[in-house]
Structure 1
Amino acid sequence: MIARDRELLVRLGRVNASLGEVALALMAAQDGGKLPADGLREVGEALRTLATDMIARADEVNEGMPVSLAASPTATCALCHAEPVARPDRRTDTVEGRFCGDCVARCLDDTRRDHWCPIDTLARAEEMPTDA
């Protein structure tokens, strides 16, 4: 399930990152003031497919979640300060309990050698064994 969830979040991130570019391309392709039907249809289908998959997954997650947790307010991502954390049921000293799925996916997908962010720092702390 984790790989499937990550794939959904990566897809969402890609769509989010490219929506502005797609809108500009559609505006540039306007023919006589009308939007190109094929372009609109393609974008609509891509969004509908992603939305359907995400709603289906949300329904699956809610089925296995206690009602109090499903209805509980979520904390905001400590990195982007915009999205809810990936797992509000986790402690705030864990990656999924502190950052949103989009920020975590971006961090994991960034292969630059000089990349290091708060997610990496917290993940490293989680990996370090504690003296018992």
Structure 2
Amino acid sequence: MTTRNSRSTALILGFCIALLAFLSLFIGVKVILGNQLEIINLVAFSGFALIMGIITMLLFLFAYSIALSLFIGGLIIGNYVMFQSFVDGMTGWGDLVGIISLFTWVIIGLVAGIVAQLVYSWYRKFKK
């Protein structure tokens, strides 16, 4: 069972990750690419950020520290690759490649984290 303190910490952590995910997309598209943003873009950025925050919050609440670390690592690598693709440009495909690489690295981090957490849990269970 989670305590009130861990729930509030999870909420704060989830909010911080969601805010950072939103800001990274906003800065990448608005500042680096120089694209004009519309309401639908902000809704999409908010949806992505909300999903990242919820996943982070759940991983923290369930005390999946390995999965949380790999997920946040995937988010960091994905943002780096996205910004790199935005800067390189790649003759007009940089924006699409950047967003797809962000999604890819986030999914890789989440799946690798869940698999590593399962392996660790099974190891601890069968070690006894």
TM value normalised by structure 1: 0.30
- Structure with bigger RCO (C-alpha 8 Å, 6+ apart): 2
Choose 1 or 2 for highest CA Rg: 1
Greater fraction of residues in helix? 2
